[in-house]
Chain A
Amino acid sequence: MSQRLAKEYRALSKTLGRDPEYAYIISLAPVSEENLRKWESLITGPPDTPYFGHEFTLQIEASEAYPLEPPKVQFQARCMPHCNVDFDSGRICLSVLDAAHWTPAWDLLHVVHAIWLLLASPEPDSPLDVDLACLVRAGDRSAHNSLIAYYLNGGSRGHCGHVSER
């Protein structure tokens, strides 16, 4: 039904792998060709961040009303420690994904790029992970980065304990 997603898919298969700007995107494609509403993307972390060298899976779900409504995007649960990402569910707090700020002129590539940029610049004013947000706000960059590195390299993390501390 949705030709727009089909067109995006076609355009992406052309641009991805060619455009050096989007070299960090390993894959961005629908889960199956039958259902273009569910997409999945594999991206590498941006350079000069603790995420660099790691790979992350984004789950994208475009609603019936896409592109008039923003797609639902989230990281795989319990994989992404970031101050704007809910660690347990993978939910992302990003204005672009908000219905009020979304504009139909954007497509999925824009969304992935925006999320990728968010990784490099955490926004402590609208946190979903209070611990990391506190560290960012305090300006303790090294603690922030090493905590993330610790989690990414297999460090265990309590379920919801970090939220109740505040």
Chain B
Amino acid sequence: MTDLNDTTLGHFSYLNNTRAALIDENMFLAPFINYPYKIARSFYSAVLSQYKSQTGVSLATNSAHLGASTLVETAGYFFSNYAIGCFVTAMVLNRIVAMASLRSNSQVARLPLWSRFIFHACAILALGYNVILTLRPFADEKPLVDIHNYFGITYGVICLSHCIETFVTTTTNLKPMEEFDYSIFELSMHFYALTRSNPRPEDFIPDCLMALLGRLIIHSVELTNKRNRRLLLSTILNMGHLVYLGQRVYTLGTGSLPLLVRYRHFPKLLALFCTAVSLACYALACIARLNPFSSNDEAHDISDLQFHSFMNNWYATLNCTGEEEFTSTLIKLAIMICNPEQAKRFGLHRELSQLRQPGEVHKSFFVSGYNSKWQSIPQEAITDGAAKQGRTVWQRKVTAVRDLLVAVFQRLKATFGKAPTGHANESFSEEHKKNLNDFVSERNYIKFLSLAPDLNANRIQSNDLKYLLPEDDFSADYLASDDEGSEELLEEFGSEDEESELGDVPLTDLIVPPNSSMPAQMGNTNDLKWFYSMWSILSCELQHNKRLTRSQYSELNEPGILHEVMMERIAETGSSNEAKEKSERDMTCVVCKTNTRNIVLWPCKCFALCEECRVSLGLRGFKTCICCRTDVRGYSKINAV
């Protein structure tokens, strides 16, 4: 045992942590704290030694020890300066955007021109210095600073540039420009990976240069107030880079590119490939149509090609403001080319294509209520909260006192003004026998129902007794009549009648046989409908041999009800087809008259818009409802099925 222990310790020296202790061994509960500590320490030193041995060899043989070393490297990233820098920058950016939410919606705060100039000039100076630093090795073969310092400085400058840009844009109510290829997170990983290895200058300098120049472009277009030129500049820069990449792959082969570079430029290259292939196909199709080599002049028209309209105005379809970045625009174009449906959605056939909806906007940018979506029916909209919101304490006090006074006045009026009549009512009702209607509740009405026939029987004797039936029902419901109309109706109900006889159920007075229940004034359609609906319930009662409530009936005879309703609807709408057509046409959005309406506005509850027009209106800063001019505070989307 001891031998084994010794040899093991000899091999794995890091396991020997017996002397390490957090607290004194003699203390109470010391082992409970010290043992876990020792184990953790051993584990830590094991990882450390493993890591040391791996990095020693990893430079020589890269692929052999991929597992452990990559794991450690990845874990090491989270403790590197770059990760911390990335985290801090992200937090600062987040705070800057959140800070913008403190501004009121109505007032647009603007930075004075000089401050904007100073901010951008700072960033440009720092970036320019860094570009010089990057290009230094090419000039005199001697780097200005140590390579690790260089990465740190570059990353810091880029973070600073991000912060400045976000601050300036959010305070001027603009959207910060984004870098698609070189986000700060990706850059931090890239730089970390570069510091771990020993990179050759040509591996990292193009990327650093691209990132720095990209930021420089952003700052210079912001400074000169020409944000819409960014796409152009970015395209030029990226084209240059792509040419460089192509040349390098051509001369040195694909393997010469580091993994991170390949990964970074993959989406761009894929998009470029798709676009190029599609363009080639389109060109081929055009050539086939026009047929320049054929002898006869039978040239076909290329305008009936599926993508003709797209190709003719692809830039308009792309819906660019000019502030985008090359890569994202290229990818968008590729998506559109690959997927016509997508093109339709992105704006080829959109009614109002001049505006592009930003993906995510901070709440503070919601200038109009057309942009703030409310998931449920806002309580505010129901109980008009607008008045309550802006009130001061004093106003609230005044209204409360007023409400109180009104309530007191009404109370007094009720007690004194109505007192004599109320008294008279009481004395009047005392004269009568008890009124059963007063005792009926939802729970016990069944008892009263079964009681009803008996009371009915007594009706002749004591006329002043009250029944469940309406007190002033003087209609001739229970009189048998031999009118022609009733005869006709009787024929209609003939089958039902037979059924009831076959059922052999003793008919109570409530379920009146049809021949006696046909009142003379059946001409009224409402009565007729009521009778029809009652009749189906009654016949169902007879079938099931028990008394049914409406809810019980609906449970038992669901398909029957559905059928009834459908028949009724068909009878109603079938006659007026024109009206139906009209109502369908009226459900299109009032703005575009194309899509169906699916947006309801709060608090006015106007239902007149479609989603696209809502977006357009919101982006244009409409504040009032387009129909009723109420202030719009939110909208909800309705799913019309």
Contact = CB atoms under 8 A, between A and B. Distances in A.
B194 interface: no
A104 B626 CA distance: 6
Contacts of A68: 352, 591, 616-617, 620, 622
A4 B354 contact: no
A3 B616 CA distance: 15
Contact of B626 (A1, A7, A65, A103): A103
B351 A65 contact: no
Contacts of B594: 3-4, 7
A67 B354 contact: no
Nearest to B590: A105
A96 to B, nearest CB: 13
The 7 closest A-B pairs by CB, nearest first: A7-B593, A104-B591, A105-B590, A103-B626, A105-B626, A3-B594, A104-B626
B629 A103 contact: yes
Interface of A: 1-4, 7-8, 11, 64-65, 67-68, 103-105
Contacts of B354: 64-65
B592 interface: yes
B518 interface: no
19 contacts: A1-B351, A2-B351, A3-B351, A3-B594, A4-B351, A4-B592, A4-B593, A64-B354, A67-B592, A68-B352, A68-B616, A68-B620, A103-B624, A103-B629, A104-B591, A104-B626, A105-B591, A105-B608, A105-B627
B613 interface: yes
A104 B593 contact: no
A96 B352 CA distance: 22
Contacts of B352: 65, 68
Given A3-B594, A4-B594, A104 B351 contact: no
Contacts of B591: 4, 67-68, 104-105
A1 B351 CA distance: 7
Q: Is the interface of A mostly helix, strand, loop or mixed?
A: loop
Given A4-B351, A68-B616, 18 more contacts: A1-B351, A3-B351, A3-B593, A3-B594, A4-B592, A4-B593, A4-B594, A7-B593, A11-B593, A64-B354, A65-B620, A67-B591, A68-B620, A103-B627, A104-B590, A104-B613, A104-B626, A105-B590
A65 B592 CA distance: 11
Interface string B613-641: 10011001010101101000000000000
Nearest to A103: B626
Interface of B: 351-354, 590-594, 608, 613, 616-617, 620, 622, 624, 626-627, 629
Contacts of B626: 103-105
A61 B629 CA distance: 25
Contacts of A7: 593-594
B351 to A, nearest CB: 6
A7 B591 CA distance: 11
B622 to A, nearest CB: 8
A68 B591 CA distance: 8
A1 B316 CA distance: 11
A67 B617 CA distance: 10
Contact of B617 (A4, A11, A64, A104): A104
Nearest to A67: B591
B550 to A, nearest CB: 43
Contacts of A1: 351, 353
Contacts of B608: 105
Of B352, B353, B354, B627, the most chain A CB neighbours within 10 A belong to B352
B368 to A, nearest CB: 12
A11 B590 CA distance: 13
Contacts of A65: 352, 354, 620
Contacts of B624: 103
B456 to A, nearest CB: 60
Contact of A8 (B351, B593, B616, B627): B593
A164 B608 CA distance: 47
A22 B342 CA distance: 43
A127 B222 CA distance: 44
A103 B620 CA distance: 12
Of A7, A64, A65, A104, the most chain B CB neighbours within 10 A belong to A104
A8 B622 CA distance: 23
A104 B593 CA distance: 11
Nearest to A102: B626
Nearest to B351: A3
Contacts of A3: 351, 592-594
A105 B354 CA distance: 19
Of A1, A7, A105, the most chain B CB neighbours within 10 A belong to A105
Contacts of B620: 65, 68
A103 B623 CA distance: 11
A13 B159 CA distance: 61
Contacts of B616: 68
B611 to A, nearest CB: 15
A65 B620 CA distance: 10
A4 to B, nearest CB: 5
Nearest to A65: B354
B347 to A, nearest CB: 11
A112 to B, nearest CB: 17
A67 to B, nearest CB: 6
Contacts of B622: 68
Contacts of A104: 590-591, 613, 617, 626
B480 to A, nearest CB: 54
B631 to A, nearest CB: 14
Nearest to A100: B624
A65 B613 CA distance: 12
B585 to A, nearest CB: 9
B451 to A, nearest CB: 59
B352 to A, nearest CB: 7
A51 B620 CA distance: 39
B393 to A, nearest CB: 35
A8 B594 CA distance: 11
